[in-house]
Amino acid sequence: MDENQAKDYRFSLDLQVRWIDLDPLNHVNNSVFIQYFELGRGKYMSEASPSWNWHKNMFLIANITCNYKKELKLTDLQPKIWVKSGKLGTKSFELDYLVTSQENEDRFVHAEGKSTQVMFDLKERRTIELPGWLKAELSNFDKLGS
């Protein structure tokens, strides 16, 4: 992993690769990486945005991509999901992801991805503007890591 790339991410979460995550090729199945993104996204939102409340605030996933770089196996050491905010729009925001493992001094990128979240009002069943407080909290959280 490029050292500069690692410095771009302030938030990481340790992953546990489970036997059920593996496919017949004995590596993590491609669909599981999206689940890893989801785990990271949930913890990231709670840490990066102290005002975030999962019972009041909601978003829909409008788009999600994953680029696979290197297979991830059950025996790979210290797997992690890294998350940071990307573009903050009017009604949506992007999150960037890395799935890595570590061996000695080397960190390997297994996958990288991006998701677009659209703010959503559950009662009105419509999209809404990205709150200013959320923009500020996400921006400030990721800036502190630079």
Residue 141 falls inside a structural domain: no
- Is residue 145, in this structure, part of any structural domain at all? no
Q: Is residue 138 part of a domain?
A: no
Three-class SS string for 55-113? CCCCEEEEEEEEEECCCCCCCCCCCEEEEEEEEECCCEEEEEEEEEEEECCEEEEEEEE
Q: How many domains is the chain partitioned into structurally?
A: 1
Kindly state whether residue 142 falls inside one of the protein's structural domains: no
Q: Is residue 70 part of a domain?
A: yes
CA 123/CA 110 separation, integer angstroms? 39
Name the pTM for this structure.
0.92
| Tens of pLDDT, residues 42-84 | 999 999 999 999 999 999 999 999 999 999 999 999 999 999 9
In tens, the pLDDT along 76-130 reads 999 999 999 999 999 999 999 999 999 888 889 999 999 999 999 999 999 999 9
Report if residue 140 sits inside a domain.
no
Query: Domain residues for 63?
Result: 3-132
Dihedral sign of CA atoms 92, 28, 25, 18 in order = negative
Residue 103: predicted pLDDT: 85
CATH of the domain at 79: 3.10.129.10
**Residue 143 banded pLDDT, cuts 50, 70, 90:** confident
Residue carrying structure tokens 């979240």: 117
Residue 56 lies in a domain: yes
pLDDT band at 3 (very low <50, low <70, confident <90, very high): very low
